[in-house]
């Protein structure tokens, strides 16, 4: 496996005339890259270029973290595009930097994976893009709340009752997860929709998942994870200052021991997987810029290589699910 780029990174944004949500894609191209800016961060890409001619290519659908945006991991999307992957990133309605009205609530827990499914449907029906997608190699990748999103797409029955029970005892210790813990009437609604206190929204088109510091581990149970049968990679922060380790990273490791690959990234915090901070972000949202003894560019290089290696091994069949 070579880590050298084989293509340039094509880029298109807001693909559809009537987006249900903004959707950006990066893809293998042959045209030269030119300077672009994503949310004020400088990069290069071949905006609007034609796809490289030797497809079809595997595709990664990407889910950003809570209150984020579709460009949160553009650095990773560009890296993968230059190595032969299409990366598609919707911006989740009601859980983004412009509109966080549903952030970390049960309604968005249900809606996020459905938005990913809609994005996938639209791309597979797109006359220009669909022919370039290898429909047997569709993967899902997400960060934080997005990590939980892609695990649900893989078959995780998200246990809202376990979330409620955890927060009944730990609300004062875990404000991030418990701020909008479900109430009894929410649980009753799930019973009617799914036949139990769970969110169950599997998409059988997904053949592997990558979860970067996934949130809501409190809703993970042995039973709820039983039906996941695709390869899984968990990318963990060395120092996650947002999510409590024992009910998130360590909890997933315990439940999925022997069934998933876990890689801890040295020097990384929860937000180390976001782009390098601009002066504006550093001044106004300094908490997003905190790393733990390692340069963010170096963290990104490690993450790129770890994820690329995993996806290549999945693509060749060297890593398989159950």
Tell me if 47 sits within 8 A of 127, measured CB to CB: no
Write out the two tokens for 153: 């797409």
Write out the two tokens for 72: 């949160």
| Averaged pLDDT for residues 251-278 | 96
Domains (range + CATH), the chain: 8-158+200-316 (3.40.50.1820)
| Averaged pLDDT for residues 117-133 | 95
Residue 311 has pLDDT above 70, yes or no: yes
Residue 1 has pLDDT above 80, yes or no: no
What sign does the CA torsion over 260, 263, 269, 274 have? negative
Q: What is the pLDDT of residues 180-226, one digit of tens each?
A: 999 999 999 999 999 999 999 999 999 999 999 999 999 999 999 99
Please, which residues bridge with residue 10 across strands? Answer: 27, 46
Write out the two tokens for 293: 């003894």
pLDDT at 283: 95
| Averaged pLDDT for residues 83-100 | 93
pLDDT at 92: 93
pLDDT at 107: 87
Write out the two tokens for 299: 């963290």
pLDDT at 105: 87
pLDDT at 2: 65
Angstrom distance (rounded) from CA 40 to CA 11:
16
Tell me if 86 sits within 8 A of 60, measured CB to CB: yes
Angstrom distance (rounded) from CA 103 to CA 113:
14
Give percent above pLDDT 70 in the chain.
99
Give percent above pLDDT 90 in the chain.
89
Angstrom distance (rounded) from CA 256 to CA 155:
13
pLDDT at 3: 78
Helix 145-153 to helix 106-124 angle, to the nearest 10 degrees? Answer: 60
CB count within 10 Å of CB 258 equals 4
pLDDT at 108: 87
| Averaged pLDDT for residues 116-142 | 96
């Amino acid at each position: 496996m070579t880590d050298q780029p084989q293509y340039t990174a094509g880029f298109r944004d807001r693909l559809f005339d009537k987006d249900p949500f903004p959707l950006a894609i990066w893809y293998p191209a042959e045209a030269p890259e030119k300077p672009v800016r994503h949310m004020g961060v400088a990069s290069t890409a071949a905006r609007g270029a034609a796809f490289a001619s030797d497809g079809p290519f595997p595709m990664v659908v990407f889910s950003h973290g809570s209150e984020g945006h579709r460009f949160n991991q553009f650095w990773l999307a560009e890296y993968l595009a230059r190595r032969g992957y299409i990366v598609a990133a919707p911006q989740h309605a009601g859980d983004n930097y412009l509109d966080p009205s549903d952030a970390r609530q049960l309604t968005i827990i249900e809606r996020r994976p459905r938005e990913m499914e809609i994005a996938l449907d639209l791309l597979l029906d797109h006359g220009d893009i669909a022919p370039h997608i290898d429909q047997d190699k569709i993967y899902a990748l997400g960060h934080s709340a997005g990590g939980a999103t892609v695990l649900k797409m893989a078959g995780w029955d998200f246990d809202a009752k376990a979330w409620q029970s955890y927060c009944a005892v730990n609300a004062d210790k875990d404000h991030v997860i418990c701020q909008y813990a479900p109430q009894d009437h929410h649980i009753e609604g799930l019973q009617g929709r799914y036949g139990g206190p769970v969110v169950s929204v599997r998409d059988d088109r997904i053949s592997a998942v990558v979860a970067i510091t996934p949130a809501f581990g409190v809703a993970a149970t042995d039973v709820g994870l039983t039906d996941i049968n695709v390869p899984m990679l968990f990318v963990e922060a060395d120092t996650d200052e947002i999510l409590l380790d024992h009910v998130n990273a360590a909890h997933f490791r315990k439940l999925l021991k022997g069934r998933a690959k876990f890689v801890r990234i040295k020097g990384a915090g929860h937000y180390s997987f976001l782009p390098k901070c601009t002066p504006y972000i550093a001044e106004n949202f300094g908490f997003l810029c905190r790393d733990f003894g390692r340069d963010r560019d170096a963290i990104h290089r490690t993450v790129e290589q770890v994820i690329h290696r995993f996806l290549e091994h999945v693509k060749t069949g060297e890593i398989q699910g159950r």
